[in-house]
Amino acid sequence: MCGIAGLIHRHGKTGDIGTEMTAMLQSLKHRGPDSTGYALYGKPLKGNELMLRFKVAEQDEMLKGFKIHDQVKERRNEVDKRIKELGGRILETTDATEYAFRYRIDYAGDRRKLADFIEDVEGAEILSMGHGLELVKDLGDAARVAEQYHLKGFTGTHALGHTRMATESDVDIRSAHPYWAYPFADVSVVHNGQLTNYWNGRRALERRGHRFMSNCDSELIAVYLADKMQQGAELKDAMTDSIDELDGVFTYLVATSDSLGMAKDVMAAKPMVLYESEKFICLASEEVAIRSVFPHEIDTFDPYEGEVRVWKSA
């Protein structure tokens, strides 16, 4: 029942993707009121600079009194210490909330080693780490999350979004979508459906050295695609392979540093509506989300079963 959405400005153009995606996700609130998530792609950082989004507590933990606030400070200080210990430099910090933070860092080392070292801190979880990707997710609807994280005016080229109705896992940030393809930079996925070969696929990727932060099949799709691309596959080829190799009923959107992709399984049971123009691509579980960002009449259509599409931002 969850809602998914994606958009991309083409030919190197940018827009207020924070506001655009918020409008789309708020229109899909009825499909998932428990949590809302964004994967936002801003101007890519250069060289060894990385944008790091992480949390050191859950939203509901902050209601437990002064003790947790002291623990949050201690955990954040420990994260700072570990970044520096591995040779990283913290260039800029922003307190997104009391428990979630946005860091711009300079780090030339192994991203997996850094991610593992940070997440060994009690309560710490990296939401995203990359050159352009910033992943934001929390409890509540899009309006609440956008206001909480100050997403209005976030300028970028493309974005993914997700509204979640919890069915099989907890209502917390860890279980919210989108998912980052740990430890690969700038790969994120939102997904509607269910994979029936999740555990077989996960074990195969774990044998290849990959680690999972959740039991969510959306994360499996993200890591599966990133692994394929690490082996040399183009995004569209990796997505085409997924239609045959991932079992179940699903529609998913994937984003990389410069691309937005869509795939539907051969059953095509999970909805997806698409608007495509020369300058702008917009996709969502329902047409109402697309029309939330267009004041004029537009033509939309439903992609075919087994269809894979990829659009570039430049």
Say which DSSP state 30 is in.
G
The reported pLDDT for the residue numbered 311 is: 97
Q: Is 167 exposed, middle or buried (0-12, 13-18, 19+ CB in 10 A)?
A: exposed
Q: Which band of pLDDT confidence, cut at 50, 70 and 90, is reported for residue 17?
A: very high
Residue 314: count of CB within 10 angstroms of its CB: 10
Q: Which two tokens stand for residue 109?
A: 């080392």
In whole angstroms, how far apart are CA 258 and each of 61, 68, 129, 190, 296?
Answer: 36, 39, 16, 17, 28
CA 56 to CA 230: how far, in whole Å?
29
CA 34 to CA 178: how far, in whole Å?
14
Average pLDDT, whole number, for the chain?
92
Q: Which band of pLDDT confidence, cut at 50, 70 and 90, is reported for residue 175?
A: confident
Q: Which of 7-11, 44-48, 155-159, 209-213 comes out lowest in average pLDDT?
A: 209-213
For helices 217-230 and 198-207, angle between their N-to-C axes, nearest 10 degrees: 40
The reported pLDDT for the residue numbered 215 is: 84
Q: Is the pLDDT of residue 271 over 70?
A: yes
Render pLDDT for 24-50 as a digit per residue (tens, 0 to 9). Answer: 999 999 998 888 999 999 999 999 999
Q: Is the pLDDT of residue 64 over 90?
A: no
Mean pLDDT (whole number) for 59-84: 89
Residue closest to 149 by CA, chosen among 158, 162, 140, 159: 140
The reported pLDDT for the residue numbered 171 is: 66
In whole angstroms, how far apart are CA 296 and each of 16, 25, 288, 290, 291?
Answer: 18, 19, 13, 11, 8
The reported pLDDT for the residue numbered 166 is: 63
Q: Is the pLDDT of residue 143 over 80?
A: yes
Pick the residue with more confidence: 283 or 33? Answer: 283
Percent of the chain with pLDDT over 70: 97
Catalytic (active-site) positions: 2
Q: Is the pLDDT of residue 170 over 70?
A: no
Say which DSSP state 311 is in.
E
Q: Is the pLDDT of residue 263 over 90?
A: yes
The reported pLDDT for the residue numbered 181 is: 87
Q: What is the pTM of this model?
A: 0.93
Pick the residue with more confidence: 184 or 28? Answer: 28
The reported pLDDT for the residue numbered 167 is: 61
Domains and CATH numbers, the chain: 3-44+131-312 (3.60.20.10), 45-130 (3.30.70.1110)
Query: Could you identify the residue written with the tokens 């179940």?
Result: 248
Mean pLDDT (whole number) for 120-133: 94
The reported pLDDT for the residue numbered 290 is: 96
The reported pLDDT for the residue numbered 169 is: 60
Mean pLDDT (whole number) for 294-305: 87
Render pLDDT for 218-241 as a digit per residue (tens, 0 to 9). Answer: 899 999 999 999 999 999 999 999
The reported pLDDT for the residue numbered 45 is: 95
The reported pLDDT for the residue numbered 213 is: 80
The reported pLDDT for the residue numbered 214 is: 83
Q: Is the pLDDT of residue 168 over 90?
A: no
